[in-house]
Structure formats: structure tokens, C-alpha cells
Amino acid sequence: MRADGGGVQLKKVASFWMIRHPHPSSPPSSAVPLRFVAGPSGPPAAVAMAEAAVVLQKKRALRSQIRRELKVFSPAQREQEDVAIQNLVLNSPWFKSSKGLCAYISCEALREVDTSKIVAEVLKNSDAEHGLQVKKKLYVPRVEDKNSHMRMLRISKIEDLVANSMDILEPSPVDADQNECEDVMLATQPIDLFLLPGLAFDRHGRRLGRGGGYYDVFLQKYEELANQQKWKQPLRVALAYPVQIVDGDLIPMTVTDVPVDAVVSADGVIPISPAALERILKIIILEI
């Protein structure tokens, strides 16, 4: 198993970023072509609306296809991949060196890549009884309403989580000791790593979520916060089974879709953005 995604892959990925990012240090959220923006230089409103409808339809179709494929994925294979993916993350220098991370709490019914081992490891190391070697702060999602509003709240033990109406474990606004959980948007220290869920991803960093817009809205807000605070942008890493990594231009993107920096599957890490090449492969792309 290769942890670097392979030489050919790197060449492809790098050329994508060089074409779209003449200044590779710019934030990766501008990676997607802004094709669907109506405006003076864009298409007329009716054309833009028709294009948006096509995108919506394509996203729906791809979600259904991936859900179907995930359903027939053998549980034994899934379990093996869950272990491999989590080990890749846990053993990576970019995870080990992270001080603050936002991770999803995986949901078995949604056939998401398991994060329970990673979460348990982070919480173990943040437990005072374990010597505080690498104390990482862990923030996990909490859905606030149906209008794509999600917060990331800090948890320090697994018991801080309760099942929501979608049967996903999430933190209550206050913990068992009635202390308010810290909202990552109010934290004084930056997050260096996001572990992201999703239905489909590609080697260009495109990500297709479950359609709520929760992550896109949140990631955009956090990017703005990091810019304001002059913090380094966190690495956005998606976890995926092979059926979730799609070829070609199957994932349509709109202006609000936030791309990922890297994808981890059981086959290894696929670094995509310059930030990923730098932090995962330790390669620095010089600006021309």
C-alpha cells in the first residue's frame, strides 16, 4: 500500500492546480470554475437558472448512484477499509502534529467511513489521566436548523454525544457538567485539520455532500475566520471508500462548493492542493 498516492497521480494533481492556481498559495476554495454565476460577464439569468437545475439534477443522480453502491459494499470489506483508513490517518505526521481538529462522528446507517477509532484516540490523548502528550482539541458537528446551519462544538469525552433526529451522534450545547461546549468559531486557537464526510469525491478535490449544504456553509465561514485571524488554513481531508472516488467530471460544482485538499482511502492518501502537497508530501510548489 502506498501512502503518497503514487508519482503519476501527483503529476496529474499538480498540473490541475498549476492550471487553476497560477498563485498556488491562494485558498483552495477558488479551485472550482465559477461557471454558474449570473452577472454582467456571466450568462443571462434564464440560462444560469437552467444550468443550476442541471447541476442539481446531476448531483441528485450521483448521490443516488453512490448510495446504491455503498449499500451493496460488503460489510467485511468495509470493516477492513475502515481500519486501514483510520490507521493511515492516525499514523500520518499531519494528523499527529495537529493540535485542533474538526471531525465527523460517523454514522453506520449512512455507510460513512468510520471515525470512531480516530475520535477515541484523540479523546484518549486529551484525557488528563494519559499524560497530555499531544493534547488535541476535538470539535464535532451539531446541526442547528434545516437552513444549512451547523456548529462545531468541542467534546472531551464520548459521553458528551447524543443521537439527533437523523440518528447521528452530536454534542449538546452544554456538557454533562452543564458547561457550555466551546464553539470552534469562538476558539482562540486555529484548527489545523478537518476530517470530512461526503458521498463522492474526485482527484481534483471536488466533493459531493448529502445535499444539506451544512459543510459548504461551515467551511466557507471557517475559511473567512482563518483569513481574518491570519491563521493558516486547515487541511481539508475527506475519508472515502473506493466507490466514493469518482473519475472524470462526474461531480458538478457550483460557486458555493468547497473543495478538499486531500482524500484518504484504504489505498492511500491522495494529496490534491498545494497545501496538501506541502503538508502531506512535504513538497513545496514555487510561485512562478
Ligand X SMILES: Nc1ncnc2c1ncn2[C@@H]1O[C@H](COP(=O)(O)OP(=O)(O)OP(=O)(O)O)[C@@H](O)[C@H]1O
Residues interacting with ligand FFO, by CB under 6 A? Answer: 67, 104-107, 110, 112, 141, 143, 150, 166, 168, 197, 209-210, 212, 214-215
Nearest distance, CB of residue 87 and ligand X, angstroms: 25
149, 210, 225, 250: residue in contact with ligand X (rule CB under 6 A): 210
Nearest distance, CB of residue 217 and ligand FFO, angstroms: 9
Euclidean distance between CA atoms 162 and 150, whole angstroms:
16
CB nearer to ligand X: give 17 or 215.
215
214, 241, 246, 251: residue in contact with ligand X (rule CB under 6 A): 214
- Kindly tell me the sign of the dihedral angle through the C-alpha atoms of 67, 75, 168, 120: negative
Residue 183 site contact among ligand X, ligand FFO, none (CB < 5 to 8 Å, cut-off depends on kind): none
Residue 59 site contact among ligand X, ligand FFO, none (CB < 5 to 8 Å, cut-off depends on kind): ligand X
CB nearer to ligand X: give 35 or 135.
35
Nearest distance, CB of residue 233 and ligand FFO, angstroms: 20
Euclidean distance between CA atoms 98 and 157, whole angstroms:
18
Q: Rounded to whole angstroms, what are the CA distances from 115 to 105, 112, 120, 177?
A: 6, 9, 9, 25
Contacts of 233 (CB under 8 A, 6+ apart): 27, 28, 223, 226, 227, 275
Exposure of 26 in the CB half-sphere (CA atoms within 13 A): 11
116, 125, 172, 256: residue in contact with ligand X (rule CB under 6 A): 256
- Kindly tell me the sign of the dihedral angle through the C-alpha atoms of 73, 13, 206, 280: positive
Nearest distance, CB of residue 67 and ligand X, angstroms: 12
Reduced DSSP (H G I as helix, E B as strand, rest coil) percent helix, strand, coil of the chain, to 5: 40, 15, 45
Is 216 a residue that touches ligand X (CB under 6 A)?
yes
* Interstrand relation of 235-239 and 268-271 (parallel, antiparallel or unpaired): unpaired
Nearest distance, CB of residue 211 and ligand X, angstroms: 4
Euclidean distance between CA atoms 74 and 65, whole angstroms:
16
Residue 106 site contact among ligand FFO, ligand X, none (CB < 5 to 8 Å, cut-off depends on kind): ligand FFO
Q: Which residues bind ligand X (CB under 6 A)?
A: 59, 148, 198, 208-217, 220, 256-257
